[in-house]
Structure 1
Amino acid sequence: MQPGDIETELGLPIPGRILEEAEWARTAVKRLPEPGPLDWAAIFGRQAPLVLDLGCGNGRFTLGSALARPELNHFAIDVLPVVIRYATRRANQRGLHNVRFAVKDAQTFLRSYVGDAAAAEMHLYHPQPFHDPREAHRRVVTPAFVGDVHRGLAPGGLFVVQTDNPDYWHYMTKILPYFFVFEEHEGVWPDAPAGRSRREIVARQRGLHIFRGVGTRRDDLDHAEALELAASLPEPRFRTRGPWIELDRWEERNR
């Protein structure tokens, strides 16, 4: 790819253009420090509202958001090193100094590295539903995880979620309103009508319905109450079914 080029993926452009190498950024956090709340001002070299992308894949949402909102800092994680390499390269080539990427699972990252009221927004797009009941314990969206999202958001902060799995969505819509003023989002996202994530694009091309929602942090719920609430709510032990199982297998083969 040459400076000025626009990359495409699945027939759709990836946000931003490739810049001259002298304008590239350095967005990789190659090693996280010992557990403890991260110093965001030190990481980004400035104070700015923080957006967290929890399971960013190859970075499509973070790239688009960082380009459209340069006044915000964006920190994105994924458990898969290979997709973080793609995301980092793309952000570097677009000169996105307001972006950082790291390899880490979302549960550990929130629990161990995100301080209280640290983020203005958190985004979670298409968490793996783990169809095998023996792997249900690996599902990201649990009451404890949602409690950590609530703790890590600033007052009035937003939690944006999306999935193509109706069983997972049913569980989310039962759990999230305890911690957030939650509203389902009908239709596409205005900022990314073709899709905010690679998974969304693939799912839509295969005719699957996309479930979207935005939660605004319930500021009347303090941390102790959130912990007690999380301990009382059911874990995500639902059984998944339907044609998206084949899509998950396709995604695994074509990352």
Structure 2
Amino acid sequence: MRKQEPTDTSGDNDYGVPIPGNVLPETSWAKTAIKRLPPEGPLDFAAIFGRIAPVVLDLGCGNGRFTITSALKRPEIDHIATDILPMVIRYATRRANQRGLFNTRWVVSGAYELLDLYIAPQSVQEIHLYHPQPYHDTKESYKRLITPEFMTMVYRSLRPDGLLVIQTDNKPYWQYVQKVLPGIFDWKEQKSAWPDAPQGRTRREIYARNHGLPIYRGYGSPLAGFDAPALEKWASSQPLPRFATSGR
């Protein structure tokens, strides 16, 4: 029987930038879909992945570029990627399966619901949030993900030495992040492209760069000393994201 060679995936790209990795022989494919979340309660990462390892969450993962890239470069780390759109999760799952990325799982879920119902306190090493929907119509501002309440859920989910990454190409959204996040995170702005992905970590980032849009990036770790009552007090003192998003 002729040996099956990896398939060239040069045609699998975002605006001309290839999705990393090759399609492996089918015998090496993974099964990475979480087709149905269990009853409410903390996910058992060790049972899901069959090992104990740091866990990265990619919230609103889109077509999966960041998670696929990170999983290929960091096989020692497990990744859970979510999006509310079943179609994009199907495409991302297929790509991960064909690349043999056993250290990834893909699930249709909202970011808020995942953190609220399924993530145990201080159980996640990294949370990545790339280009959350800004909802330009101010009547829909209540749908914006980044709120003080949501940030307390992110804080609660991360390990004390964990990492939060946020990126957007919407200036008013970024200004809101810069105003609110330093209250509970040691927050830093990433002035230039991410060194690991100079062409872009996500499809949206590549699109924005191609169209000359500014991109705003930041990262931080939880500040010490915030228990549940302190987080609730902080959240109640912060403004909601009711800004207009017309400016960039």
TM-score range, shorter chain: over 0.9
Partner of 2:7: 4
Provide Cα deviations, 1:5-54, integer angstroms capped at 9, x if missing partner.
12222101101111000000001000001111111111111100010001
Letter in 1 for 2:122: A
2-side partners of 1:47 and 1:219: how far apart? 25
1-side partners of 2:117 and 2:182: how far apart? 24
The answer to whether the Cα contact below 8 Å between 2:31 and 2:102 also exists between their aligned partners in 1 is: yes
Partner of 2:21: 16
1-side partners of 2:232 and 2:124: how far apart? 19
Task: For residue 22 of structure 2, give the secondary structure of its aligned residue in structure 1.
Answer: coil
The answer to whether the Cα contact below 8 Å between 1:58 and 1:83 also exists between their aligned partners in 2 is: yes
Q: Determine whether 1:179 maps to 2:180.
A: no
2-side partners of 1:28 and 1:143: how far apart? 31
Give the length in aligned residue pairs: 242
**Deviation of residue 179 (structure 1)?**
1.2
Q: Determine whether 1:110 maps to 2:133.
A: no
Q: Determine whether 1:153 maps to 2:158.
A: yes
Q: Determine whether 1:132 maps to 2:137.
A: yes
Partner of 1:52: 57
Q: Determine whether 1:63 maps to 2:58.
A: no
Q: Determine whether 1:83 maps to 2:88.
A: yes
Letter in 2 for 1:133: T
Task: For residue 220 of structure 2, give the secondary structure of its aligned residue in structure 1.
Answer: strand
Provide Cα deviations, 1:159-193, integer angstroms capped at 9, x if missing partner.
00000000000000011111100000011001111
Counterparts of residues 87-236 of structure 1 (less than 5 Å)? 87-236=92-241
Provide Cα deviations, 1:52-80, integer angstroms capped at 9, x if missing partner.
00110000000000000000010010011
1-side partners of 2:232 and 2:7: how far apart? 49
Partner of 1:247: none
Provide Cα deviations, 1:96-115, integer angstroms capped at 9, x if missing partner.
00000000010111111111
Q: CA RMSD in A?
A: 1.1
**Deviation of residue 130 (structure 1)?**
0.1
Identity of aligned residues (%): 55
The answer to whether the Cα contact below 8 Å between 1:156 and 1:219 also exists between their aligned partners in 2 is: no
**Deviation of residue 219 (structure 1)?**
2.1
| Long gaps (5+) in structure 1 | 245-255
Please identify, of 228-237 and 81-90, the stretch whose mean Cα deviation from structure 2 is larger.
228-237
TM-score, normalisation: structure 1: 0.93
Runs of 4+ in 1 over 3 A off after TM superposition: none
Partner of 1:249: none
TM-score, normalisation: structure 2: 0.95
The answer to whether the Cα contact below 8 Å between 2:14 and 2:206 also exists between their aligned partners in 1 is: no
Letter in 2 for 1:81: P
Task: For residue 199 of structure 1, give the secondary structure of its aligned residue in structure 2.
Answer: helix
Task: For residue 68 of structure 2, give the secondary structure of its aligned residue in structure 1.
Answer: helix
Letter in 2 for 1:77: T
